[in-house]
Structure 1
Amino acid sequence: MNKLKKLGISKEINTEANQYPELFVGRISSQTKNIYKVMTDDKEFTAEVSGKFRYNIDKISDYPAVGDFVMVDKLSDDEGHAIIHHVLSRKTAIIRKAAGTSNDEQLVATNVDIVYICMSLNNDFNIRRIERYLSIVWDSGAMPVIVLTKSDLCDNLTEKLIELDEVAIGVEVIVTSTFDPQSLEYLENQLLAGTTAAFIGSSGVGKSTIINYFLGKTILETDGLRNDDKGRHTTTYRELFISQKGGTVIDTPGMREIGFESADITRTFNDIDILAQQCKFNDCSHTNEPKCAVLNAIAEGNMSLERYDSYLKLRREAKYAGLSSKEIERTKLNEIFRDYGGMKNARKMQKQKNNL
C-alpha cells in the first residue's frame, strides 16, 4: 500500500486532484506559523501557500490545516519551500473558536474519521465538558469515541460510567490504563490503514502516551497532571503521524476549555430532542411553556437539572456562534421581544402608543 492510501486519500480526493495535472497531491502533517510539512507518496517536505492563494482567501479557516489534502508544485521558492496552490475539499473539519477573537474560527484538524475524546478518571473528569466536546465532534462530521484514561487511579469507576450513560448517547466509551495493554490494543485495532483519528482533551490526560503506543515508539513527550490536576502542555502544535498498523493519528494541544464556532447539540442532547416531540407547542423553548415534556421530565426526576442547564447554555452559545458583539445584542433583543414580532415591531408599537 502506498503512503497516500495509508494517509486516507479517497477516490473523491483523487478525482478532485486530477483536475490539477501539473501539480502533486499531498497531506499536511504539521504547521509552524506559515510553514507546513507535506507528506506525499515518496517524501515529506516543507511548503508554504502561494501569494495568489493568500490573496484570494476570505477567512482564517481557508488556510491549510493539519489533515488537509493539498496540491503542491514540489518546486522550491527562494527560501527552499514547495508551494501550496489549492486545498482540496474537506470531508470533515473540527472547528473551535479562536482564542481572543469575537468570531474567528480555528481548525483543529480536518479529514478525520474518528475523534477520541480523552478524559482522565480523576479531577479532570467533567461531564459538562464531555457534552461540549461531543457537540463539536458531531458537528464536524467525524465519529466521537470517549476514552477514559488512568483507570488505575479511579476508585469509583462504576459511578462515573453511570454519569456518562446520560450524556454519551450512541457513543462508545472505552476505559484504558497504561497498566492494561489490552485496552490500548483494542483502541489501536480501530485505527485501520486509511483511517484518520484525532485525539482531543485536556493536557496531561494521556493522549501522547496512547499515540506513542500506536506508533510503537516514543515520539511525543509525555507528562502527567500537576497536583491541581491541570495538565502540563507537552504538545504545543498539531501533528500527524502514521501508526505502526497503517492508520493516521493527529495529536492536538491540550484544550481544557473549548469554545465552539458551530456545534450539533441535537445529537449531543438526543434525549431532549426526543422529549421535545411530545411538547404541546412545536416551537417550545423548554423554559416556561405549559405542557413542556422537557420540564416535566425534570420535575419527575427523569432528567437532571445539571444536564438541562448545560443544554440551555450550549444552545445559547450555538445561537450566537460566529456573530459580532452588535449582532449578538440584536439577536438577544429580538429574542426578548419575540412575542411582539421582534425588536423593530416592538419599537413601532411603542411609537404608536406614544402618539396616542
Structure 2
Amino acid sequence: MLRRTLSALGDLPVAFGAKATGARADRMRRSPQYAGGVFHNASPTRATPSPSAAGGILRELLFGDDRARRKPAGAIPMVSEPGSETSEGLFVTWYGHASTLVEIDGARVLCDPVWSERVSPAAFAGPRRLHAPPVALDTVGRVDAIVISHDHYDHLDLATVRALLTAHDAPFLVPLGAGAHLERWHVPASRIVELDWHDEAELGGLRFVATPAQHFSGRGIANDSTLWTSWVIAGPRHKVFYSGDTGYFDGFAKIGEEHGPFDATLIQVGAYAPQWPDIHMTPEEGVAAHIDVRGGLLVPVHWATFSLAMHPWGEPADRVWREAKANDLALAVPKPGQRIDVANPPAVDGWWQTLG
C-alpha cells in the first residue's frame, strides 16, 4: 500500500501537465480567444465559484444527506464485447462519461478517453468510478485519431494517454495549449495537433474542426491557461458533432449553419447545477444544442460514470429522454460499452431507471 501511495505521489506533479512556452505560447497569444494571459469564452460566464462557494459545493458533494441518490442503486449493466473494426458506416460506442469511440466511414476516432479509476491528479483521491470500464483499453482495437475537448481530469487522463502512447500511433487532436501537457508526458510532437477555434485538420480521410464551446480549463492552480473546444468529425459520407463540456450558447446555431447537418451528436447532459449554469448544460439545454447544430441521432454523454454534481444519478437520462420525446427526436441511450448503429439505433428502453 505504501509503495503504491509513494508511486502515485511521484506522478502527482507530472499529472498537472505543463505550461506552454516558446512557439506554443506565442501561438496562444495570437488567438482571438486569448487576452491577459488566459483564454476567454465568447460571452461572460460564471465559470469558477468563489472560494467560500466552492467549499460549500465540495462539502455537499462529499457529505450531503442526498449523496446516496448520486450513485446507482445497483450494478450498472455493461456490454463488454470488443467492437468490430470492419464497418464502413457510422457506429458509436459509449464507454461511460465522455469516453466514446466513433467509427466513421472506415476510420476510428476515440473521444476524451479516460480509463483510470479516479478523475484526479492523484490515484488515491478524487471522484471514483461508479462502474468499471466496460472493456480493457487494449481491446478497443485500432485507433486512427484521439480527440480531446479540454484538459480537465475527467477528459484528459495521464494514465490513459500513456497507455495509448505505447499501444497506438494515432495523433492527438487538442485545443491550444493542451499540447504542453502531452509534450511533458512524452507524446512526440509529430502526434500532437493543436487547434484554435475554427481551425481544421485533415487526417486519415477525415476532417476535424475545432468549434467553439463555453467552458473553462485548468489542471493545477491556474485556470483558463488552455483552450476548450467542441469538435466536428467529418468523413466522406457522415458527420458527427461532439459538444465537449459546455454551457448552452448561441454558438451552437452558428455551428449548425456552418457545419451541419450531423448524422449524430454526442452531447454533454450531466454534471449540471445551479451553481455553474453557464459551463455545463442541463439535459434540456443539451437537446436544444442538438437541435441547433441540426443533429440526427442524439447520444447523451457525460453522465453515469462519475458523481460530479448534486443531481440524482439517473436524472440526466430521464430528462433528456423526456425532452427528446417532446421534440420528436431520434435518441439512443446506450449502456456503457454498447455499440450503436446510427442508421438503425435500438429503441430506448429506460435501462437506468431501475437503478435510481
Calculate the TM-score normalised by the size of structure 2: 0.25
If each structure's helix is expressed as a fraction of its own residues, which one has the higher value?
A: 1
Query: TM-score, normalised on structure 1?
Result: 0.25
Q: Flag the structure with larger Rg.
A: 1
Compare relative contact order (CA 8 Å, sep 6+) and give the higher one, 1 or 2. Answer: 2
